[in-house]
Amino acid sequence: MLDATHAPTLKSWVPSAKQPGTDFPIQNLPFGRFRRAGSSEPLRVGVAIGDEILDLQQALAAGGWSAEAQAWLAPLAAGDLNAFMAQGPAARKGLRAALSAALREGSAQQAALAPCLVAQSAAEMALPCQIGDYTDFYTSVHHATTVGRLFRPDNPLLPNYKWVPIGYHGRVSSIRPSGQQFPRPKGQFKAPDAAVPEYGPCKRLDYELEMAVFVGAGNPLGQPMTMDQAEADWFGMGLLNDWSARDVQAWEYQPLGPFLSKNFASTISPWIVTQEALAPFRAPFTRPADDPQPLPYLDSDFNRRCGSVQVVLDVLLQTAQMRAAGQGFERVSRGNFSHAYWTVAQMLAHHSAGGCNLQPGDMLGTGTQSGPEAGQGGSLLELSLGGKQPLTLANGEQRVFLQDGDAVQISGRCEAPGAVAIGFGPCIGTVLPAV
């Protein structure tokens, strides 16, 4: 899985890509869509390198690429990441190698490409691709157990959970990139001791710490993916905050699951980190010996050896009071995607198992990612034990659920011995008063 693009000694001629702690060293090279801030120019696809963006439209025009690389760059120069995704893993791997060679120290393309850089601070980021469909899974057994225990103390984990990847179809139209601001949602909810439900602003607004998986070429209708096909196909990952109205959710979710409680806002990071960039951070996927092992259509040798992806995930909170006082974000929880009970390939294989046709740019949410230890809950619902145990911040403020003016930041970082660490960029959203 590793090649010259992962070499820890590899350095870029872009100075900020060599800075310790950057999310975007030359070993990363994620894709996103942007335009220059304040302009009306069409969106174009770029690659993050340090604190810059390589504008691939200008980069193609600058020349110096092989004929094969020119063909890969053509849809990206036109602003169409989906069309590039549709070309499959060979194009994804081939262009990564070409970009790595062009951006490394000593590259013959440096002089031509230097004018093609745009400072990230001068760019307006959009959704990284056109998202056609969005499915949210429930892959954290720790989250499922903790939440289940709040509502079903005697039967917290339903019997199907360890056999089948659970998911539901979400809403695409309210997905926005980092920086999203949204009004507190309204809905119908019913207090346990109330005779009738009420309608109004949500009182138990929550965040959900998730990762987003983006489909590559996909599969034809009626032709399920094997595990090996699913592993080869997925394009990359980003960060996801799938905001939730817990009081609305508790009232509406039976019998068909979430509806208005989950369709008002979802925030994602603007960069897609490709699966090749994540290769140094893969790890074995294992289950406890006394748990059911995956059915054959959800099992493969590669998945057992390398199915897990190690990503340290942090949730940080900044209240309106903290912002007014000039204080930054405060970390409230930390987890790791390696705790997931189902892998990326298993989500794709199961999603397509009945013949569903996944398409380039479709997005899968992993569901809230929580760990087994205290402080690793991926939502306030867990950290506050359903609202019974307030979370106390450093300035003395307390939270059981989000208040107006609260901003939530999710960050992700991949680290492993012998590898250069990479990140995903920002995923920030802010709650506004209800309208």
CB proximity list for 188: less than 8 A, separation 6 or greater: 197, 198, 199, 248, 251, 252, 260
410 and 273 housed in the same domain: yes
170 and 230 housed in the same domain: yes
181 is in an annotated binding site: no
C-beta separation of 235 from 274 below 8 A? yes
pLDDT score, position 150: 86
CA 365 to chain centroid: 7
161 is in an annotated binding site: no
Q: How far apart are CA 427 and CA 242, in angstroms?
A: 11
pLDDT score, position 152: 85
176 and 315 housed in the same domain: yes
Nearest of 362, 408, 421 to residue 209 by alpha carbon: 408
CATH number at residue 18: 2.30.30.230
N residues, the chain: 435
pLDDT score, position 374: 83
* DSSP-derived 3-state class of residue 250: helix
107 and 60 housed in the same domain: yes
What is the set of active-site residues?
143
299 and 347 housed in the same domain: yes
C-beta separation of 243 from 265 below 8 A? yes
C-beta separation of 69 from 133 below 8 A? no
CA distances from 282 to 27, 201, 218 (A): 15, 42, 22
Burial 337-353 (b: 16+ CB within 10 A, else e): bbbbbbbbbbbbbbbbe
Domain's final residue, options 90, 125, 160: 125
pLDDT score, position 1: 87
CATH number at residue 396: 3.90.850.10
Q: What is the chain's Cα-based Rg?
A: 22
208 is in an annotated binding site: yes
40 and 146 housed in the same domain: no
27 and 83 housed in the same domain: yes
292 and 148 housed in the same domain: yes
58 and 196 housed in the same domain: no
262 is in an annotated binding site: yes
Q: Quickly list H helices, 202-343.
A: 227-233, 246-252, 301-306, 320-324
274 and 416 housed in the same domain: yes
Which amino acid is residue 146, in one-letter code?
T
175 and 280 housed in the same domain: yes
Nearest of 127, 159, 157 to residue 145 by alpha carbon: 157
398 is in an annotated binding site: no
C-beta separation of 344 from 352 below 8 A? no
C-beta separation of 310 from 414 below 8 A? yes
52 is in an annotated binding site: no
pLDDT (tens, 9 = 90+) of the chain, 435 residues, equals 899 999 999 999 999 999 999 999 999 999 999 999 999 999 999 999 999 999 999 999 999 999 999 999 999 999 999 999 999 999 999 999 999 999 999 999 999 999 999 999 999 999 999 999 999 999 999 999 999 888 888 888 999 999 999 999 999 999 999 999 999 999 999 998 999 999 999 999 999 999 999 999 999 999 999 999 999 999 999 999 999 999 999 999 888 889 999 999 999 999 999 999 999 999 999 999 999 999 999 999 999 999 999 999 999 999 999 999 999 999 999 999 999 999 999 999 999 999 999 999 999 999 999 999 988 999 999 999 999 999 999 999 999 999 999 999 999 999 999 999 999 999 999 999 999
**Maximum pairwise Cα distance, the chain:** 74
Range of the domain at 421: 134-432
Q: How far apart are CA 242 and CA 368, in angstroms?
A: 8
pLDDT, tens digit, 9 for 90 and up, residues 113-160 = 999 999 999 999 999 999 999 999 999 999 999 998 888 888 889 999
59 and 149 housed in the same domain: no
304 is in an annotated binding site: no
CB atoms within 10 A of CB 188: 14
CB proximity list for 430: less than 8 A, separation 6 or greater: 180, 181, 182, 405, 406, 407, 408
Q: How far apart are the first and last CA of the chain?
A: 50
Q: How far apart are CA 76 and CA 92, in angstroms?
A: 12
Domain's final residue, options 85, 100, 125: 125
Which amino acid is residue 217, in one-letter code?
A
pLDDT score, position 215: 98
Token look-up 């949410």 returns: 365
CA distances from 75 to 81, 91, 394 (A): 7, 12, 48
Q: How far apart are CA 401 and CA 264, in angstroms?
A: 17
pLDDT score, position 155: 84
136 is in an annotated binding site: yes
Domain's final residue, options 105, 125, 145: 125
CB proximity list for 90: less than 8 A, separation 6 or greater: none
* HSE-CB of 194 using CA atoms within 13 angstroms: 9
pLDDT score, position 36: 95
Q: How many domains does the chain have?
A: 2
C-beta separation of 38 from 7 below 8 A? no
242 is in an annotated binding site: yes
